[in-house]
Amino acid sequence: MDKAESWLYKTLQYRFQDTGLLKRALTHRSVPGLNNERLEFLGDAVLDFVISDAVYKARPDASEGDLSKLRASLVKDTSLAQIAADIGLGEHLILGSGERKSGGHRRESILADALEAIFGAVYLDRGFAAAGEIIERVFANRLEELPDAGDLRDPKTRLQEWLQARGMSLPDYDLVRVTGAAHKQGFEVSCRVAAGDGAMPAVTHGKSTTRRKAEQKAAANMLAELLGEGS
C-alpha cells in the first residue's frame, strides 16, 4: 500500500480495488496525460444527489428553496476545500511543477475538485452505495449542524428584510474609497440606515477586494449593530 492509499484508508476507511483510479483522482490537469477532470465531473453529480437526499431527510418541513440553499452551503467550493484540507488531501495531490511552486496543494479550487474526483473514483470503483458512504462520512459533522435556512441568506438580503419588517427605509450603500493597483484593488463601502424621530442615521463600513463583498460586509456590520451585537 503506497502513501496515498494508506492516507485514504486511515482518513476515510476506504481501500480502492483499482488503485489507478485513486492516482487519477489526485492528478491535476497541470500534469501531462490522464487527470482528474472527468472524475471530478462524475463526483460532482454523485455528491449533489447524496447531499440532496441527506438534507431532504434532515429537514422534512423545508421548502424546495430552503433545501437548495442548504445543499449549496454544503457543496460550495469553500466547504469542499475545507474538508479536503482537514483530511490532508493537499499533501497527496499530483501537480505539475508550476502548480507545485505556486502552492497549488493549498489552492481552494484544486482541493475542492480533487475531493469531488475522489468521490467519482469511489463510485467507479465500488458503486453508488460506497460513494454515498464516503460522502456521508466526511460531511457527517456538517449534516448534524445544519444552519437555519434563513441564516444562509446573504447579509444584504437579511438587512433588507429586517428593515422592511419594521417599516423602515432601505439602506443606502456608497463607495467610500478604492485603494491599490488596478489588478489588486481594495474597496471600502458605507451602509447607511435612516433612523426615526430625527435621530442620526446609523452608518457602518465594509472592506474587501470587490465592491459587492464590501457591501455585504457593511450590511453584516449594520445587522450586528441593529441587533445589539456590535462591539
**Angstrom distance (rounded) from CA 5 to CA 122:** 13
Residues 28, 35: contact at Cβ < 8 Å?
yes
Confidence band (pLDDT; 50, 70, 90) for 197? low
* Residue type present at position 219: A
- List, in order of start, the domains of the chain with CATH numbers: 3-147 (1.10.1520.10), 155-226 (3.30.160.20)
Averaged pLDDT for residues 86-113? 93
User: Over the stretch 121-172, which tens digit does the pLDDT of each residue have?
Assistant: 999 999 999 999 999 999 999 999 887 766 667 889 889 988 999 888 899 9
* Summary mean pLDDT of the chain: 91
What's the pLDDT at 146? 86
Averaged pLDDT for residues 186-199? 83
Q: Is 58 helix (H, G, I), strand (E, B) or coil?
A: helix
Which residue in 113, 116, 125, 188 is the catalytic one? Answer: 116
**Angstrom distance (rounded) from CA 165 to CA 159:** 10
Which residue in 44, 53, 77, 225 is the catalytic one? Answer: 44
What's the pLDDT at 199? 61
What's the pLDDT at 113? 96
Residues 95, 109: contact at Cβ < 8 Å?
no
Closest CA to 151 of 215, 76, 70, 80: 70
* Residue type present at position 9: Y
Active site residue 116: yes
pLDDT beyond 50 at 231: no
User: Over the stretch 60-83, which tens digit does the pLDDT of each residue have?
Assistant: 988 898 899 899 889 999 899 999
Assessment of whether the complete model's pTM goes beyond 0.75: no
**Angstrom distance (rounded) from CA 178 to CA 20:** 50
pLDDT beyond 50 at 27: yes
Residues 114, 36: contact at Cβ < 8 Å?
yes
Active site residue 40: no
What's the pLDDT at 116? 98
The answer to which of 28-32, 81-85, 158-162, 195-199 has the lowest mean pLDDT is 195-199
pLDDT beyond 60 at 198: no
* Residue type present at position 85: A
The answer to which of 52-66, 132-146, 194-208 has the lowest mean pLDDT is 194-208
